[in-house]
Amino acid sequence: MADPGIPGAAPPGTQAQNDWQLLRRLTGYSTSLWYCLALSLAGFALYALGMVLLADLMQFLLDVVAGAEGGSLLQASVSAIAGADVPSRLAIPLALIALTLLRALGLFLGAFPLDWAARSLVFSLRDALFRQLTLARIPQLEAQDQGAQLSRLTYVAEQAALATVEAIKTLLREGLLLAGLFAYMLYLNWRLSLVILLVAPPIALMVRWAGTRFRRYSRDVQSSMADITQQAGDALRGQREMRAFGAGNVLRDRFRRVNRHNLHQSVKFAFAQALSTPAVQLLLAAGLALMLWFALGAGLLGSFSAGALAAYLTAAVQTGKPVRQLSAVQGALQRGLAATQEVFEQIDGAVEQDSGTHVVARARGTVDFERVSFTYPGAERPALSKISFSVPAGSTVGIVGRSGSGKSTLVDLLLRFIEPTEGEIMLDGVPLPAYTLENLRQQYSLVSQSATLFADTVCNNITMAATGTYSDAEIEAAARASHALPFIAELPLGLQTVLRNNGETLSGGERQRLALARALLKDAPVLVIDEGTAALDADTEARFRASLATHAGGRTTFVIAHRLATIESADQVLVLEGGRLVEQGSHHDLVGRSSRYQSLCQGELSSS
């Protein structure tokens, strides 16, 4: 669904938006865009005026040389401002300098505000994309290609803003220049000027033909860029596996294929752009040739002075540049609009539902599952089926089962990362959807097997969103409880050491201990350990269990275990098999009566 907090958000399901709707929505992401547009319009109007008067300067110069009566607009302006007795030898050079300054000022006032607005749009689009990534439903994010997501955040967002604004800038600059030059030509000889309009329909058809292809090719180029990002990311993340398994040639071949596909799509775009511009120039030349043929046949040139004829031809030739630029602008515009549509499709993606209003300072920690089922989209059978159990506040629950039995799905449901297809989950007797998402997740601490460390200091990785809330003593106590303090003390700056690339300089066990410290510091009433001690050696895990027992303080704890010792002291153990709860009881009870549990214990729960 569209994010109501983002300006101009489209209603759910909106995919095929026309160009005008896309442009209108895009402008909503920059509050200053219209002011910049007005300033640029004024600047480019000055630029167009300067260019027209440069053509008129030719008439001024040649009429002075030929001794003809001055019909130049510039000459009339000079006479009106400085008087008729100003010598032409002084007036013409000064006029040239003044017009050059006018053009330069116009170009600056026209270009810079829109360039600033474009960068502002890039900022706003990236901000909106990242906000959506942090609010999107986790299954939706996991179903999408990570390379495409990163490409939208970096390359596509920039294309959307810069290419679109560059097209608008070209339309303003060259459109005003073309209008000014044609108005000047009409002023000099309107009959002759109308002949050029005969080539306008063919030019419009050519521009339309090019535009449809530019849009399609632009989307293909962006899609191929996402593939490149994905392949490059895989190679960077999997350097050790690539080298250990000798897969370098395979990965290079894969990258070469997607890179070649990107080349082919880019060449198609370049071909359409290269073909459209000379075709428009040829049509324009045909229009000018037709104009000259008509003028020579009708004897219209006799009404021109030498200066007026030179000015007219100068203006006519100058129309070539704006026509060429305006024909090529379709490429930039369609490239920008294709990128804009892709960005908005991401922004309009579904976000987590947060309609609850219930807020509690600190939950007691009682958890109830009542006939809960969950089926992943597209799956033939449920990942969990009619699961029911109750967990009293302050107790510890071990969850065991073979791989694929539904253990992690149960944890995802508990934290509302996903929603049950059937049944209800309650915390302290209140259904989870009744809580606000923020308040609900304040009641949980999570330690997952693949603990993520962010590009920040060790201290901020432990405090996470609560940076500034805890004292140094509290942070050190949590690090000590997770047995992370010894290795932190050996880091160059201790707790202030900045980690990069998910803490790649740390061992797996060290990363896991930081994740455990993070959970202990939060001190939430419900602690969820999703195989969170898997990377610890047996001795460190034993010390952590002892520390956890000391610091538990009535905390409800869910443990997905990979070692028997982790759950021996649990108040109850849930045995999952094929998405069903097949056994439930204490460790000692299950060892005595459950063949399934005995089998798992004999394998030291390693398959979990």
Give the start-to-end residue ranges of the domains of the chain: 19-347, 367-602
Q: What confidence tens digit (pLDDT) does each residue in 263-316 have?
A: 888 888 777 777 766 776 777 777 777 777 776 665 666 667 778 888 888 888
pLDDT of residue 5: 41
DSSP, res 65? H
Give CATH superfamily name and number for 19-347.
ABC transporter type 1, transmembrane domain (1.20.1560.10)
Tokens standing for residue 56: 């008129």
HSE of 386, CA atoms in CB hemisphere, 13 A: 1
Q: Is the pLDDT of residue 431 over 90?
A: yes
Dist CA 389 CA 27 (whole Å): 52
pLDDT of residue 85: 66
Strands 526-530 and 556-560: parallel
Q: Is the pLDDT of residue 73 over 60?
A: yes
CATH architecture of the domain formed by 367-602 = 3-Layer(aba) Sandwich (3.40)
Q: How many residues are listed for the chain in this entry?
A: 608
Please give the full DSSP string across 142-210, using - where no structure is assigned.
HHS-HHHHHHIIIIIHHHHHHHHHHHHHHHHHHHHHHHHHHHHHHHH-HHHHHHHGGGHHHHHHHHHHH
pLDDT of residue 584: 92
Highest-confidence range of 134-148, 241-255, 525-539, by mean pLDDT?
134-148
Say if 19-347 and 367-602 have the same CATH topology. no
Dist CA 398 CA 564 (whole Å): 10
Summary mean pLDDT of the chain: 82
Q: Are 224 and 258 in contact (CB under 8 A)?
A: yes
CA of 550: how far to CAs of 92, 200, 586, in Å?
93, 84, 21
Dist CA 468 CA 461 (whole Å): 12
Lowest-confidence segment of 88-102, 134-148, 300-314, 570-584 by average pLDDT: 300-314
Is the torsion defined by CA of 285, 291, 292, 294 positive or negative? Answer: positive
Q: What confidence tens digit (pLDDT) does each residue in 308-341 have?
A: 888 888 888 888 788 878 877 877 788 888 889 8
Tokens standing for residue 483: 């047995």
